[in-house]
A and B are shown apart, each in its own frame.
Chain A
Amino acid sequence: MKIPGLIALALGAGLMAATPARAALNVIATTEDLASIAREVGGDKIKVESLSRGYQDPHFVEAKPSFVFKLNKADLLVAVGRELEIGWLPPLITQARNAKIQPGADGYLDASLNAKILEIPTGQITRAMGDVHPLGNPHFWLDPDNGKRIAKAIEKKLATMDAANAASYAQREEDFERRLNAADKGWQAQMAPYKGTKIVTYHRSWPNFADHFGLDVMGYVEPRPGIPPSPSHTLELIKAMKEQNVKIILVEPYFDLKTPNSIARETGAKVLMLPPSVGGVPEVTDYIKLFDHDVRQIVDAIKATGAK
């Protein structure tokens, strides 16, 4: 008798809560890169917010209850996918009490589905390889061509959810693509003299970036993905860098600079703290500025060090 009472109470409370009038679509992105692209496409027709910050390691975001509130009100959730957010997003979605954004529902968009994904493992993988992503490298947004693909996917999704503004989304997406193409021509021109330059990165965050701009990532500060630097690996890396005259070490803003700095001292290389995401440094306020900033930094560093 007490249990039906409880349920009746719950259902009664449920009926009383009326749905508010539909305003601008509420879009939550897991990272600031996706939020920036969504903003380009949606303009003032949508409200966009990112759960993580650009200077934060996107693998290790905390599943804070305040994020539950944000997801509760979301019409659309845009996730990076490829298991980047596996450590924190699933419990948030479960607790969000929002049928619209559950995996498989219309308001859940996996941004990776149409993107060019690198490093998809073939054959047997084990955790002896470190924290490998079985579905491929999730840092795919660092290729402007993938940025266009993400924009297209968001545009299609917004158009189906909000048909009245479909023309606006299509027009804004085209405009974004045009500006991105124009900017990319400039970036390619800046990078052209340095194609094939060998670099070292801390984590495997940059394969798509290197692929697009013709850089050659010859080693990593981490011995394996997600495993902190070890002395033996660091020594091997120093030796290889000296042999191949590698002068650039890219470090994401959320990693410790101690090991990269000591490698730099040994090899004469330059440590470049480079944001892999929008918001990683204050001046990178949108997706196009991210590449403006990163390309300029890399070109300056190559010029300064004479890297090959």
Chain B
Amino acid sequence: MRLRSLPRVLVMLSSVLIPISFVGTAAAQEPVPSPSPSPSPSPEVVAPPPATTEVPPGAEGAGGPSGPLPVYGGGAAASKVFNPDIAVIGDFLGAAGKNDSKFATPSLEMHEAELSLQAIVDPYARADFFLTFSPEEVGVEEGFITFTSLPANFLLKVGKMRASFGKVNQMHNHVMPWTDRPLVTQDLVGGEEGISDAGLSLSRLIINPVLFLEATAEVYRGESPELFSAPRRQDLTYVGRVRGFRDVSESTNLDFGGSFARGTAKEGAGLHTSLIGADVTLRWRPLRRAIYRRLLARTELVWSRRDRVTSEQAHAFGLYGSLEYQFARRWFAGVRLDHSERADDPSLVDKGGSALLTYWPSEFSQIRGQYRHTSYGEGIKANEFLFQFQFSIGAHGAHTF
């Protein structure tokens, strides 16, 4: 059986290899005036072929391409049409004023360059990669496949992801309405990195006539710097979220959710960190004036419980409240109030307040200023002016909701 099919394989191989070697030599040679691969006709057959000759479809004589065709690896290879959508977003941050705490940020910083690569994988899935280049490291912020064609209203994501815990944890830097992350994120939910890990995320729409409802269950390897660790294979992190949404009117809607996360504490095996979150967002955007006016009010509350080696559990609570208002086509104003206990030492309470102004020259760039007052738990007070330039090139991404 195997021997009998050998000659056929050889014929197939040779039929593949011979044209390749021909193309290879043709490409290596100097450009020839007539690159047509057909053998040059003998003098007798200069006249056009008789009408009875069948020209195969796709050949030059049947309306197919003429002249030199791109070779594999060449500059014009048609495989480029399958390249993913590529975009780069730059996030430049600056800070002025006084901050003597350990949370102070540099005066000027190319905080992040994010490269996004996004495409449809096959009829059943799409893939999204977000690679970040920051002063300290190059990393995969997210890189996952999404199976879009599962039955029964399921959606499965597999890869490295920002976990579905609350709102801010799922946001990339460039979609946040502030230059920084709220104190509650810094203190209780792992800072800028947040809960971000390799794992699986399965979510399902719960169809009902009253409101949009989505339940998400996620399991991660268990390594989130600042938050979780996985000394053993079974030290997984679990995240759950239920999100509801309802249109109050054509222009107003309410978005709310409850989240849960649990994993092994940094201190080691057998000790756990648990987080519970609640978030509410009210949006108003009149449809006729959608490009000029909008209001977004949001609050997120987080309760943290950490096992400790030396003493009893540490219970900490934090929240932020934020308001963002677009008052002209290119202008946004905002405020944010912060309050958070430290996860390991709830007796230390950080408080802050910010006022923001954002200008959009176009959809693809923005300039933002933020005045921030912070009162850190140790008694340090900071008054800072933070500013940010964001700019995006490449494919037009979708706007997050």
Contacts and interface: CB of A to CB of B under 8 A. Distances in A.
Interface in B91-127: 120, 123-124, 126
19 contacts: A3-B200, A6-B200, A10-B204, A13-B152, A56-B288, A60-B399, A64-B245, A65-B212, A66-B247, A72-B207, A83-B396, A90-B398, A94-B126, A95-B155, A102-B123, A102-B148, A104-B120, A256-B289, A256-B329
A228 B214 CA distance: 38
A99 B155 CA distance: 11
Interface in A68-98: 68-69, 72, 83, 86-91, 93-97
Nearest to A59: B291
Contact of A86 (B151, B219, B396): B396
A14 B150 contact: yes
B362 interface: yes
A257 to B, nearest CB: 11
Contacts of B292: 256
Chain A residues touching B, majority SS: loop
A14 B329 contact: no
Contacts of A65: 212, 214, 243, 245, 255, 401
Nearest to B330: A228
B153 A17 contact: yes
Contact of B289 (A62, A97, A228, A254): A254
Interface of B: 120, 123-124, 126, 146, 148-156, 200, 202, 204-205, 207, 212, 214, 217, 219, 236, 243, 245-247, 250, 253, 255, 283, 285, 287-292, 329-330, 362-364, 393, 396, 398-401
Given A60-B290, A62-B399, A94-B148, 7 more contacts: A14-B150, A14-B154, A66-B253, A86-B398, A97-B148, A103-B120, A104-B120
Given A55-B288, A228-B329, A69 B205 contact: yes
Contacts of B401: 62-65, 91
B290 A64 contact: no
Contacts of A97: 148, 150, 153-155, 204-205
B148 A253 contact: no
How big is chain A's contact interface, by range? 35 or more
Contacts, number: 130
A99 B120 contact: no
Nearest to B151: A14
Contacts of A227: 362
Contacts of A6: 200, 202, 217, 219
B148 A99 contact: yes
Q: Which of A55, A88, A99 has most B Cβ within 10 Å?
A: A99
Nearest to A12: B152
A65 B203 CA distance: 14
Contacts of B247: 64, 66
Contacts of A2: 219, 236
A3 B219 contact: yes
A226 to B, nearest CB: 7
Contacts of A254: 287-291
B255 A10 contact: no
Given A69-B205, A254-B290, A99 B217 contact: no
